[in-house]
Structure formats: C-alpha cells, structure tokens
C-alpha cells in the first residue's frame, strides 16, 4: 500500500482545480502510468502435475488453502486466481534462490494467505474513500507514491468517484484530515490481522512474519514497520514482487510486468529478485507458462509437505472454516459474528432434530462458509442504510453462486458446498441463485437457511434494529412450510424455550 493522501490543508490548496483535474484524470491517467492497456493473456491449459483429493476423501492442505485463497482475491478487488498465479511465480523464485523444504513450505502458504487480513480494513477503506473498497484496495496495492502530485491525483481519482463534485470535495477533505497516519493504519490493520490468522491456521512463524511484512519496500518507504533492504524477510520480498508482477502481467502482459520490475528495482523490490525474474524470462517462456496457471490444483504440488485433511472427521476443516468465517464476518461491523453464530445455531438445531455428530459437523461447516462469496461484495452495498438499487441487488445475490465456485474444487465436501450455496433458496422457489424448490433442497440446506434468517433478524443492520428472539420466532413461524422448512423452525423454538431458565438465556447457546 502506498503513502497516505495529502493532509487537508494541501487538498484545500487544490480546491479551485478539482473540477479541471477530474477532467484531466479522465483524459490522461498519470496516476497509473506504470500500466499499459489490458490484454487477454490468460490460458485455460491445465498444468502437467497436480495434487488432488484421494479416493478416500482426504484433502491435501495445499488444495484447501489454494481454493479458499480465491475468496481473498475477490476481497482485494482481484479476480479469482491472483494468489494462485502469484504463488506459482513466488515458488519459482524460492527454487532459484535455493530455499530448503521448510522455507518453501512457509513461502507457499504465505503466498496463498498473503491477503487473509483483507477484511480487517474493508470498512475503513469504504468509509474514508467513499468508494468501493475492492477497487480502491486493488489500486492501493500497485500505486507508486513517488510524489505528492501522484498522491493528489490518486485521491481525486479514487475518492467518491461517482458522487457530485461538492460531495467529492467534502470526502477529499475528510480523507486528508487523517494525515500521514491513514496509510499506516490501513496497512497495519490488514497485515497484523493477516499474520494472526496465519498463526491460527497452524503454520510456522516465518509464514506469519512474511505476511506481516509483505508491504515493506526495499528502499524503506513501505509499511507497517518501514523496514529497509535485507531487514525485510526474504519471503516477504518474494511475495511483494510476485503479487505485483501478477497484477501488471494481467493488465498488460510481459511488456507491462517487466517494465514495472525494472522501474521499481531498488525502490520497491530487491534487485536480486528482479534480476532473477528477468534472466529466467528471457529463455524459458516464463510468462507463457505463467499464463497457464488458472486453477488451485495447478499449484498444490508446490507444497513440499502437504498435510492430509480427512473429509470424514472434519476437525481440521472446521478449524479452517472458523478462520475463514472470521475473515468474512470482519468485512462489515454489522456482521461481526454472523457466520459463527449461524454455525452454532445450525449444529444445535441438527442435534435437536436427531442428526448424528458427523451430519451436524458437515452442516456446521457449511454454515461457517455460507457467506464466503460476500467477500466479493462491496462494503458500499453491505453497509448501505437504504434500499438497494437493482444492480446492487444482483451483486448481493451473486454471493451464493460465488460461495459454491470457491468450494467446488474440494469435491469430497460437495454436500457442504451445496448446503452453503443454498442458504437463500426457499421451499416455494422464490429464493436464489438457482430458484430451487422444496424437494431439491437438502435437509442441511434447510437448517442453515433458518439459522441464517434467525441470526439476521436478531442482529442490528444498517437499515433496521434487531428483533428479540420471540419476535424473530414469530416471523419465522409465518413462513413455516411455505418458504422455510417447519421442522428446523420448531427445533429453534425448542432451543429458545429451553434457554429461558438459563442464567445467560439464549445467548448461552450461541
């Protein structure tokens, strides 16, 4: 992430020029002079060697994390596959520099999980820039803050871009009032939280440290610590180069990526890393091969020692699901515990309904991951206080299909993906995204749907206050047998009633 926007006094000095600069930016985008026009340079050719789930349903950890990394791509305003391609290039650099198996494993998971702290600053980015957090974060990741002029141009271009000029002015002044601390605050939140989550997932400290320092620059201009040169962990230096190279390659192919590597050699990037990439790009068709990397399975063999994750016992998957549920919920202050609460409710409802522990675990995992696709939804929509416009509704409703796409490569968990993607389907066919009807909905999907609605009704939202438990149950009963299944609603009512005599009431159950 680059330097902060200029303070308010400097922005006021540019006030008479803002309208003219807005026109200028549309004509000549100086803030992105490193980029060239985008090209269609992605291939769908399969990799020659892949690692898949075995016939007993054991999933390699490398496939699980590579698949879920695509959700982090979407949260950062990148297309699915950004981290997978960055991982492929970063692991090439690790090989060229002779990293041992332990370092390569740390590098592998740090590359895939580099953006796992993505949601920690999503609300702040939307709040301060008055814009779509995803597009703003995508530009912050590659913007070169070499002058105050570039800073001003970036602020003009990214701040409330669709708003009237008067509102843009007010937003710019608000942004500038944060001063130099804003950029540090945003990077600190993202990188610190990312490192914490890497630790929670069980990978070694070097992987966490690599994520913490991935926005440090070779010349000391990066954040959050302002490290310089070899003070920056080698793994972090590899990650920064790899992710930047992937973005510029996607925007403009070989010419674009090699241009930015040369230009930022010794400022952003370790010169030796840049030289290694450029040398290998000359003779072994590096970028042609880079363009064939499109699917998680194409990098899973790069983990020297992948852990086997049984899909039958689910203990490890539940732990991973809990972490990614936290990533989703942190995106908006209005849903800070939604996925976790929905999972707890779903598992308890399943138990009340007489399902065995394995079935309850699978339903609970689906509930943890049911909103994974919401990482692709702008906070400007998630946190909107008023009614959604038709285009906003379409973007919001797309999250269920995206959740399915993200989970689909984990084929032993196909039923989990189905339940997660069906939580907005309704018995009468009025739901989305496939408009399934009662006979087509699994029992687990019906349970998750009821838990999802109940938690939403009993939580504050930007457009309404929370209901109490009895009000929410009354609302659910109106839908029983028509749009939502009656049996899960009855189980939920039983849970509410049984909690009345408990010291903490129903809260003790969630």
Catalytic amino acids?
Answer: 374
What does the alpha-carbon distance between residue 218 and residue 196 come to, in Å, rounded to a whole number? 24
Q: State how far the Cα of 16 lies from the Cα of 266, in Å rounded to an integer.
A: 37
Partners of 301 in the beta sheet? none
Whether 251 and 33 have beta carbons less than 8 Å apart is answered as no
Element (H, E) at 58: strand 58-60
Structure tokens at 491: 């189980």
Burial of 309 (0-12, 13-18, 19+ CB in 10 A): buried
Please enumerate in sequence order all residues whose Cβ is within 8 A of that of 301, keeping only pairs 6 or more positions apart, or say none: 49, 50, 51, 62
- In angstroms and rounded to an integer, the radius of gyration of the C-alpha atoms of the chain is 24
CB 302 within 8 A of CB 91: yes
What is the SS3 assignment for 464? strand
- For residue 161, whether the previous peptide bond is cis, meaning omega lies within 30 degrees of 0, is no
**Would you tell me the crossing angle of helices 443-457 and 414-421 to the nearest 10 degrees?**
40
CA distance 273 to 464: 52
Q: Regarding beta strands 58-60 and 308-310, do their DSSP bridges make them parallel or antiparallel, or are they unpaired?
A: antiparallel
Q: How much helix, strand and coil, in percent to the nearest 5, is found in the chain?
A: 65, 5, 35
Residue with tokens 């909690």: 499
Q: What span, in angstroms and rounded, lies between the C-alpha atoms of 441 and 438?
A: 5
164 vs 19: CA distance, rounded Å: 11
DSSP 370-421: TTGGGGGS-HHHHT-SSPPPHHHHHHHHTHHHHHHHHHTT-GGGHHHHHHHH
Q: How far is residue 314 from each of residues 56, 319, 329, 400, measured CA to CA in Å?
A: 13, 9, 22, 22
């Amino acid at each position: 992430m680059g330097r902060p926007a200029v303070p308010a006094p400097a922005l006021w000095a540019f006030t008479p020029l803002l309208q003219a600069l807005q026109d200028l930016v549309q004509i000549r985008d100086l803030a992105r002079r490193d980029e060239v026009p985008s090209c269609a340079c992605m291939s769908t050719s399969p990799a020659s060697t892949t690692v898949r789930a075995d016939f007993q349903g054991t999933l390699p950890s490398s496939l699980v994390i590579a698949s879920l990394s695509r959700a982090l791509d979407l949260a950062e305003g990148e297309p699915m596959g950004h981290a997978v391609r960055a991982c492929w290039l970063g692991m090439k650099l690790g090989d060229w520099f002779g990293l041992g198996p332990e370092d390569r494993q740390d590098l592998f998971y740090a590359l895939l999980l580099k953006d796992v702290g993505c949601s920690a600053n999503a609300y702040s980015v939307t709040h301060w820039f008055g814009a779509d957090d995803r597009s703003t974060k995508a530009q912050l990741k590659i913007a070169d803050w070499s002058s105050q002029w570039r800073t001003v141009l970036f602020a003009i271009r990214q701040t409330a871009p669709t708003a009237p000029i008067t509102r843009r002015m007010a937003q710019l002044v608000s942004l500038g009032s944060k001063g130099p601390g804003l950029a540090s605050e945003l990077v600190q939140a993202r990188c610190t939280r990312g490192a914490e989550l890497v630790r929670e997932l069980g990978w070694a400290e070097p992987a966490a440290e690599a994520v913490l320092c991935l926005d440090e620059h070779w010349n000391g201009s990066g954040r959050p610590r302002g490290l310089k040169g070899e003070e920056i962990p080698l793994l972090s230096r590899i990650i920064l180069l790899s992710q930047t190279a992937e973005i510029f390659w996607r925007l403009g192919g070989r010419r674009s990526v090699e241009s930015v590597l040369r230009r930022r050699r010794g400022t952003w990037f370790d010169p030796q890393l840049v030289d290694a990439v450029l040398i290998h790009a000359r003779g072994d068709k590096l970028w042609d091969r880079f363009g064939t990397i499109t699917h998680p399975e194409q990098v899973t063999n790069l983990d020297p020692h992948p852990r086997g994750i049984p899909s039958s016992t689910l203990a490890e998957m539940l732990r991973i699901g809990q972490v990614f549920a936290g990533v989703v919920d942190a995106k908006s202050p209005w849903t800070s515990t939604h996925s976790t609460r929905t999972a707890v409710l779903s598992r308890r409802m399943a138990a009340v309904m007489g399902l065995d522990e394995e079935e309850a675990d699978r339903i609970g995992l689906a509930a943890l991951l049911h909103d994974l696709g919401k990482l692709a939804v702008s906070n400007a929509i998630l946190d909107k206080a008023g009614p959604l416009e038709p285009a906003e509704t379409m973007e919001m409703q797309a999250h269920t299909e995206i959740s399915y796409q993200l989970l689909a490569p984990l084929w032993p968990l196909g039923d989990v993906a189905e339940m997660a993607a069906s939580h907005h389907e309704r018995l009468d066919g009025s739901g989305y995204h496939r408009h399934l009807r009662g006979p087509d909905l699994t029992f687990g999907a019906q349970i998750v749907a009821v838990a999802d609605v109940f938690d939403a009704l009993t939580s504050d939202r930007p457009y309404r206050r929370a209901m109490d438990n009895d009000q929410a149950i009354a609302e659910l009963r109106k839908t029983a047998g028509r749009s939502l299944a009656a049996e899960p609603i009855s189980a939920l009512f039983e849970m509410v009633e049984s909690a009345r005599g408990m010291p903490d009431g129903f809260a003790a159950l969630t």
